[in-house]
Amino acid sequence: MKDIILKAENISKQYRLGQVGTGTLSHDLNRWWHQIRGKENPYLKIGDTNDRSTKGQSDYVWALQDINFEVERGEVLGIIGKNGAGKSTLLKILSKVTAPTTGSIKSRGRIASLLEVGTGFHSEMTGRENIYLNGAILGMTKKEITSKLDEIIDFSGCQRYIDTPVKRYSSGMTVRLAFAVAAFLEPEILVIDEVLAVGDAEFQKKAIGKMQDISKGRGRTVLFVSHNMAAVKSLCTRGIVMEYGKVIFDDDIDRAVSYYLGGNGAERSNSKKINIDNELFNLKEIGLQNVGKSFDEPLVENEKIELFTNLVFHTDDTHRYHITYHLYNEQGESLFSFSNSSSDIQLKKGQNILKCIFPVNFFQSGNFSLTIFVIEDKRRSIFKENDIIHFTVIDGGRDLGVYMGREPGFIRPEFEWYLNE
């Protein structure tokens, strides 16, 4: 039988745009009139989906809509999605910082929250005083807090400043202390919203290790929101993907991350049908996949990656032509170019399925795009299509629990090394 420690039932949250509060006095009176007659809130029937890129027709938006899920004791749940998907709003409701418009939260045990830097800290109080304050908020006795005090201070790395008011702390110091308090005071449920991004690499490594210890060693439950997919995959066992205030995917963490990185709906593929046709050629399709895998599976860095180009030439004079690609990173910076002209392969009349293989661990995890050129006589471009395909490479076999994050740069070439004696 499942040991459910947290349950969200039909959670929705509605906000009014352009106003402070829930609306005008007339709206409040209308709500009250419906309530005393035993009728539903009339404003629950209106409101737009929370899509920031479009101009809606209503003054109301649904930050969350009909969220349902359960979390088992000891489970580490990753909540991922784009900015504005509703992740932070959901965590605020789970932490009881704000109330849902509809639905309910059922939990068993204390919930500790790290929603943003300095949450629950009083800036005029010292670090030591804030430890006791946070512990009291979590329902701990003074004796319990004192027994953990030395461990909290040591883990935070703020020993020298522990009796200094928190207002003089840097954001990194503040989040270090806040995380240490939440982790060592042993809540049954720990809710973390992206705050670890503020810490340095050393602290991130310690924090990930501590969260793994909390969940696996002590059976505590962790809800983790982050845009760092390496951290999410390292820590979490299950993931839910949110979009426009709704849960659109709920599965094990590898599948959830792959679904999130793959784009939307029909775009969740590393293959693109193109059908560019002219007098010289017909460019039909471009795709990338790991060797032995399919276009629909995520590209991982620790396996060879194949780039396929499906091209039909209408001319016999194909020896004059070759294909060149330019690779760009997610900032639009050109990384390098590559071409089949450097090989012995010659294109032919009719269908050409040209394959280029990138070695294992050549790419860093990240987002990339390709621009294609058709070159005539090795000197003149007769065709160019910018950003003809976008693709994402995700972390593969790295030991993410030991090292969290990515190496600098966008590619990881492997060179030959020699030692002269």
Looking at residue 269, the DSSP 8-state letter turns out to be S
In angstroms, rounded to a whole number, what is the distance separating the alpha carbons of residues 315 and 114? 64
Residue 248's identity, in one-letter code, is: I
Domains and CATH numbers, the chain: 65-261 (3.40.50.300), 270-394 (2.70.50.60)
Dihedral Cα 374, 376, 381, 384, nearest 10 deg: -20
Residue with tokens 């070695």: 359
Contact 331, 409 (CB under 8 A): no
C-beta separation of 155 from 184 below 8 A: yes
Rg for the chain (alpha carbons), in Å? 27
- What 8-state DSSP symbol labels residue 363? B
Cα–Cα distance for residue pair 152/71, rounded to 1 Å? 27
Residue in this structure with the two tokens 């969290």, named with its chain if needed: 404
* pLDDT tens for the 421 residues of the chain, in order: 678 899 999 999 888 765 445 556 666 677 677 677 777 666 665 554 555 445 555 667 788 989 999 999 888 899 988 888 888 889 889 888 888 888 899 988 878 777 765 667 888 999 999 899 888 877 778 888 899 899 889 988 888 999 999 889 887 888 888 888 877 877 788 888 876 656 666 777 777 777 777 777 667 888 988 877 767 877 888 999 998 889 988 888 877 876 776 554 444 568 888 889 999 999 999 999 999 998 888 888 889 999 999 999 999 888 889 999 999 987 678 899 999 988 888 899 999 999 999 999 898 877 788 999 999 988 889 999 988 988 888 776 554 443 445 567 788 888 888 888 7
